[in-house]
Amino acid sequence: MSEFMIHRKILRQCGGDLEHAVKSRTTEQSSAEDIINILEEVTTRTKIGSSRVNLKTRFNTPWKDSVDKNPKENSNNIKYKSADTVRKCHICQSTTHLANTCPKRGKINEIDIEKEPDIEKDDIIEDNSDDK
């Protein structure tokens, strides 16, 4: 494998910001040792790359189950919604209907257009005949 391919593999493992920081400090003639030294220098001087979690520690930690393995204890923790609750409208607090059918609910996007008075056809014809 060429040295250039080794450099690319190392930099691909770094992530975006750290990769950019290392690329801007190296040349094409840099050795793998130079790249690793620059990586160490960048990570110690800046916060770049320090937030990444080591994959070995991330995958080796056991998952903590939020539910115990004893099913009898789990059945006591489950809370069911009571059937005795009264359903009511969230707008007017009435128990006769729900909010989607509330008569007091404001109409969204409703445009009030005032009707113009109806003009009779006879009035239009008479106006045209007066002009002659």
SS3 16: helix
Tell me, what's the pLDDT at 79?
66
Buried b (16+ CB within 10 A) or exposed e, 37-64: ebbeebbeeeebbeeeeeeeeeeeeeee
Tell me, what's the pLDDT at 112?
64
CA distance 80 to 34: 62
Tens of pLDDT, residue by residue over 4-19, are: 777 777 777 777 777 7
Tens of pLDDT, residue by residue over 46-99, are: 766 655 545 555 555 555 555 555 555 555 666 666 666 788 888 888 899 988
Cβ–Cβ < 8 Å for 86, 93: no
Cβ–Cβ < 8 Å for 50, 22: no
The secondary structure of residue 83, as a DSSP letter, is T
Tell me, what's the pLDDT at 86?
84
